[in-house]
Structure 1
Amino acid sequence: MIVTLTANPSLDRTIVLGSALRPGEVQSAASTREDAGGKGINVARVIAAAGVDAIAVLPLAIDDPFDAALRSSGVTAKRVPIHGRARANLTITDPAGVTTKLNLPGAALDSTDRAAVIKAVIAASVGARWLVLAGSLPPGAGADFYVDVVAAVRGALGDAAPLIAVDTSGPALKQVVALAAPDLIKPNDEELAELAGAELDGGGDLAGEMLRVARTLVPARTRAALVTLGPHGAVLITADGAWHAGAPRIQVASTVGAGDSSLAGYLLAEVENASPEDRLRRSVRYGAAAASLPGTQAPTPQDLPPGEVPVFRLT
């Protein structure tokens, strides 16, 4: 079983344009859709679609309209009642796959809400293989919220605590890596560089740069790093080695949720005891599948692109 925490859920509204976005002008949309979103919920949707048990923990008011979209997603969810409403995020995509995203702030969490969410995560994590802490933090949570979650889960469950995967950015990622020793982080290239305080030289060897930067963190601060590189695939760095996988050729529909699907693909392979190379392959396939679907749709195994995904060991 895989448990996810989405502290800042969002109702993802996607608008598909028939031509490139023209700021300041009136345009008609070709189509629109709404999905229950937030990084942890996205991961849980992909995991569940592959037939693996998943529980999504999230703060959510009892009368929040977001709950209708959540129920229609089919994800098993553990809701922690709070005041306030889940945010709405707006994504605009054009035929070339160019994505413009506007993210609104979420409902604030007070100290009582924080404690209730942590308690719910501990209860859901009993018997789980992985706990995924994913997404931005809402107002009031504090940059150290994920640190507190990790400490509470490991303190309560001891040796039976799940492995911890973290997919966030900025101060929240910096805090959890500095203080909580996660088992896996999933930044993109820019987030990894910011985390490590490194400058990217912008040369042609992006995978090599990611290895150089990640080695300042792996395995000293985190056991592994899965770094997504968009059209350049992804890099996996562990204590035992590093690998780069290229990305399959696809027609991009929307990049929203592609990183979440990449993480889900990696975890699906890991629970099958797959090799590092195969975990990376699965990650890249799922990320590509998500990018080929409109909106924030959860790819299924049937959506994975065909063909080989070459994986090369980095030295």
Structure 2
Amino acid sequence: MIVTVTLNPSLDRTMEIERLVRGGIVRAGDTHLDPGGKGVNVARALAAHGVPTRAVVPCGGPEGDQLTTLLEVEGIDVCAVPVAGRTRSNVSLVEPDGTVTKVNEPGGALTSDDLDVVAAAALNATADAEWVVLSGSLPPGVPDTFYRRLVADLSVPFAVDSSGPPLAEALGARPALVKPNRDELAEFAGARIDTVGDAVRAAEKMRGAGAGTVLASLGVDGAVLVDGSGARWGESPVDRGRSAVGAGDAMLAGFLAAGADGEHALIEALAWGAAAVRLPGSRMPGPGDVERGAVRLHGAADLSRPLREPHQPHGMERVR
């Protein structure tokens, strides 16, 4: 059983459009409504592959009821925690070339009483867990230390996929696995990520700060895996991507489903992530969507290769 905890879940509506015209009338083609939030997506991908999973989500208002229903339809064991606020809704506009414009609500604030109830429910839900995944942004009212507080009483390995101060705080609790993206690596390291080697060095800094294993997604350049045995890098090219929403979450799910260790798990992670990119909206891939044969692993000699997409965060230097 893999348990996910998502403090800021959402209803995600995706609309496919011909072209985004600011100030104009934009007519949508296909539309999709999916349960959302990073941990929710991890649970959806696992459930699609028959991996037992439980999703802990605070839910408020009619949107929260709808979120619970959608998750149950996908075969997920839902631990819905009633809270005073309203579950947020997000909108994604997807153009034919794969460009995605997202409008995300911040989410309803959680009170200290809400947090106590959520924390108790999460700990109860993890009694039979093999892994616990703490994933996504923190909604208003939640202190940056909440993830660290939550894992203090855990007795099973936990993974973290967050950013900024909540990620930095969680690293102090020594997570078994961290899944940053390129921007989160750069923010943590205080440096540009221009090459595969830059990503590896930033991931090594995360390990130095407390992470056991770092699985870092690099967009079109695949992912790097850095653990106690060294660094690995791989890619899974996609000829025509439809939506990158949730691809990193699918990657994390694939890595966990494959045992969260070594080359085989990296291959699964890359294959699941690429499969999500080929699907519309925030759909999560099932077994029939995954193409493991497209995955390419590279040796250490390739670490100096520049990443294909430019990356120059303001005020940052190359990782040394």
Give the structure-2-normalised TM-score. Answer: 0.89
Does the residue aligned with 1:107 lie in a helix, a strand or coil?
Answer: coil
Pairwise CA distance, 1:11? 0.2
Partner in structure 2 of residue 41 of structure 1: 40
Partner in structure 1 of residue 308 of structure 2: none
CA distance in 2, matches of 1:256, 1:119: 30
Contact conserved, 1:118 with 1:152, CA < 8 A, in 2?
no
2:96 paired with 1:107: no
Unaligned runs of 5+ in 1: 154-160
Alignment of 1:1-315 (within 5 A): 1-17=1-17, 19-61=18-60, 63=62, 64=64, 65-153=66-154, 161-177=155-171, 179-200=172-193, 202=194, 206-270=195-259, 276-305=262-291, 307-314=293-300
Pairwise CA distance, 1:300? 0.6
CA distance in 1, matches of 2:127, 2:299: 36
Unaligned runs of 5+ in 2: 302-320
Change (3 A) 1:96 1:219: same
Contact conserved, 2:238 with 2:277, CA < 8 A, in 1?
no
Does the residue aligned with 2:232 lie in a helix, a strand or coil?
Answer: strand
Contact conserved, 1:133 with 1:146, CA < 8 A, in 2?
yes
Pairwise CA distance, 1:314? 3.0
Change (3 A) 1:62 1:30: closer
How many pairs does the alignment contain? 299
Does the residue aligned with 1:209 lie in a helix, a strand or coil?
Answer: helix
CA distance in 1, matches of 2:175, 2:300: 23
Does the residue aligned with 1:307 lie in a helix, a strand or coil?
Answer: helix
Change (3 A) 1:268 1:219: farther
CA distance in 2, matches of 1:308, 1:27: 36
Pairwise CA distance, 1:220? 4.5
Pairwise CA distance, 1:187? 0.7
Pairwise CA distance, 1:278? 1.1
Contact conserved, 1:223 with 1:238, CA < 8 A, in 2?
yes
Q: Which amino acid aligns with 1:30?
A: G
Pairwise CA distance, 1:69? 2.6
Pairwise CA distance, 1:198? 2.3
Pairwise CA distance, 1:306? 5.2
Pairwise CA distance, 1:195? 1.1
Q: Which amino acid aligns with 1:195?
A: F
Contact conserved, 2:79 with 2:121, CA < 8 A, in 1?
yes
* Superposition misfits of 4+ residues, deviation over 6 angstroms: none
Q: Which amino acid aligns with 1:236?
A: L
Does the residue aligned with 1:11 lie in a helix, a strand or coil?
Answer: strand
Q: Which amino acid aligns with 1:167?
A: D
Contact conserved, 2:241 with 2:278, CA < 8 A, in 1?
yes
CA distance in 2, matches of 1:82, 1:249: 40
Does the residue aligned with 2:141 lie in a helix, a strand or coil?
Answer: coil
CA distance in 1, matches of 2:247, 2:239: 13
Partner in structure 1 of residue 311 of structure 2: none
Does the residue aligned with 2:280 lie in a helix, a strand or coil?
Answer: coil
What percentage of aligned pairs have identical amino acids?
A: 42
Change (3 A) 1:150 1:313: farther
Q: CA RMSD in A?
A: 1.6
CA distance in 2, matches of 1:281, 1:196: 26
